[in-house]
Amino acid sequence: MSATEGSSRESRGGQADDARQRAARAKARAARETANAERHELLHRESGRPFHATMAERHRAIAERHLTTARLQESYAQRLGEWAKSGGSRPTRAADDRHPLFMTAVAEACGTRSVALTLVGDDLGQLAVAASDRPSRGAQDLEYVLTAGPGRDAARDLRAVYASGAALERRWPGYGSGLAALGLRAVAALPLRVPSGCIGALTVFDPRPTLARAGTFREVADALAEGVLIGPDGDPDLYGGTDLRAVVHQAAGVLSQQAGSSTVDALALIKARAYTLDEPLESVARQVLSGALKLW
C-alpha cells in the first residue's frame, strides 16, 4: 500500500469516527432531555400542575428527536466504516449506491431505498437537493422542472402529503407519469420544520403504510431539520451529499444576459429543454455555460 492510499483510508476511517462521535453527542443530549422530562413528571405528580405535564411531554419529544439523530449517524458511520475497509474512494456528490451517502441511512430508517431531501427558499424554489439513489434524485429533478410535486406542497402547507397510483397524476399532472417511469408508485412528503418556519421537505418514495402510521417519517424529518441540518452538529451539506442548484441558476443568468430576457424566462427554458429531452438539469445547464448549447 502506498503512503497516499494509506492516508486516504485513514481519512475514510476518520469520517466514520466523526459520525460515531456525533451519534454519541446526540445520545448525551437525549439523556439530558430525558432527565428533564423525569423531573417534570415528578413535579407533576407532586403538584398536579398541567405546566409540568406539558414540559415533560416536550422534553420527551426532544429526547426522541436526538435519539433518532443518533440512529441516523450510527447507520451512516457503519456504512462509512464498511466502505473504508473495502478501500472505496472518496464519496462523490452523485446519488450512487456505490457510495455511502448520508441519505442512504435516512432511506434505511424510513424502510425504503428511495428518499430525497430538498431545501427551499421563501418562494419554495429548490435551493439544494440530496437523494439516496438515482430514482429519488430523478423525482426531485422532475418536481423542480414542473414546479409542482409533493415536497413543494408539504413545505408550502406545513403538513404531510401522501399520494399513490392514479392520484399522483390527478394531483400533479405530468409528475405521476414521470414518477412511474422512474419505477416509483407512491410518495409521502413531510415539511422540515424549524422554529423560524420551514426549510424544506423530506420525500419518501414507495413508503410502507405501517411506518407512516407509526409516525416514523415525522420523527426522521424532525431529526433531519433540527439535529442533522442545523444544531450543534448541523451540516446543511449533509457531509458532502447535497447538490446546490447553483449551476442551473448560473446558466439561467447567462441566458438572460444573452437574450435580454428575465432570469425567470431563461430558467423556464432550461427546465423545458431538460424535460423534453429527458436530460438531467445540471447537464443542460453545464452545456449552456460551456457554450455547447444555444437555447435562444
What is the average per-residue pLDDT within 211-221? 90
What is the average per-residue pLDDT within 282-287? 73
Identify the domain boundary among 38, 59, 85: 85
Q: Please, which pLDDT band fits residue 6 given cuts at 50, 70 and 90?
A: very low
Q: What local confidence, expressed as pLDDT, does residue 121 receive?
A: 85
Q: What local confidence, expressed as pLDDT, does residue 241 receive?
A: 86
Half-sphere exposure of 109 (CA within 13 A, CB side): 30
296 domain residue, yes or no: no
56 domain residue, yes or no: yes
Q: What local confidence, expressed as pLDDT, does residue 140 receive?
A: 94
Contacts of 13 (CB under 8 A, 6+ apart): 81, 84
Verify that 285 and 214 share a domain, yes or no.
Answer: no
97 domain residue, yes or no: no
94 domain residue, yes or no: no
46 domain residue, yes or no: yes
Contacts of 212 (CB under 8 A, 6+ apart): 162, 188, 204
Q: What is the pLDDT of residues 152-197, one digit of tens each?
A: 999 999 999 999 999 999 999 999 999 999 999 999 999 999 988 9
Task: Classify residue 235 by its DSSP letter.
Answer: -
Selected residue with higher pLDDT from 285 and 26: 26
Verify that 124 and 237 share a domain, yes or no.
Answer: yes
Q: Please, which pLDDT band fits residue 14 given cuts at 50, 70 and 90?
A: confident
Identify the domain boundary among 55, 85, 115: 85
Verify that 61 and 155 share a domain, yes or no.
Answer: no
The residue to which cell 408550502 is assigned: 156
Q: What local confidence, expressed as pLDDT, does residue 196 receive?
A: 84
Q: Is the pTM of this model over 0.85?
A: no
Q: Among residues 103, 110, 72, 105, which one has the least CA distance to residue 209?
A: 110
Verify that 112 and 228 share a domain, yes or no.
Answer: yes
Verify that 72 and 22 share a domain, yes or no.
Answer: yes
96 domain residue, yes or no: no
Verify that 52 and 81 share a domain, yes or no.
Answer: yes
Burial class (CB in 10 A: 0-12, 13-18, 19+), 254: middle
Residue range(s) defining the domain that contains residue 269: 246-290
Q: Please, which pLDDT band fits residue 237 given cuts at 50, 70 and 90?
A: confident
Top mean-pLDDT range of 11-20, 157-166, 227-236, 256-265: 157-166
Top mean-pLDDT range of 40-49, 141-150, 233-242: 40-49
Q: What local confidence, expressed as pLDDT, does residue 105 receive?
A: 96
Q: What local confidence, expressed as pLDDT, does residue 99 receive?
A: 66
In this predicted structure, the answer to whether residue 84 has a pLDDT above a threshold of 90 is: no
189 domain residue, yes or no: yes
Verify that 228 and 111 share a domain, yes or no.
Answer: yes
91 domain residue, yes or no: no
Verify that 219 and 126 share a domain, yes or no.
Answer: yes
Verify that 142 and 19 share a domain, yes or no.
Answer: no
Verify that 218 and 202 share a domain, yes or no.
Answer: yes
Domain count across the chain: 3
What is the average per-residue pLDDT within 264-293? 71
Q: What local confidence, expressed as pLDDT, does residue 248 receive?
A: 66
Q: What local confidence, expressed as pLDDT, does residue 125 receive?
A: 83
Verify that 71 and 163 share a domain, yes or no.
Answer: no
CATH for 176: 3.30.450.80
Verify that 239 and 148 share a domain, yes or no.
Answer: yes
Contacts of 279 (CB under 8 A, 6+ apart): 273
Among 4-13, 79-88, 183-192, 195-204, the minimum mean pLDDT is found in 4-13
pLDDT-above-90 percentage for the chain:
57
Identify the domain boundary among 85, 114, 142: 85
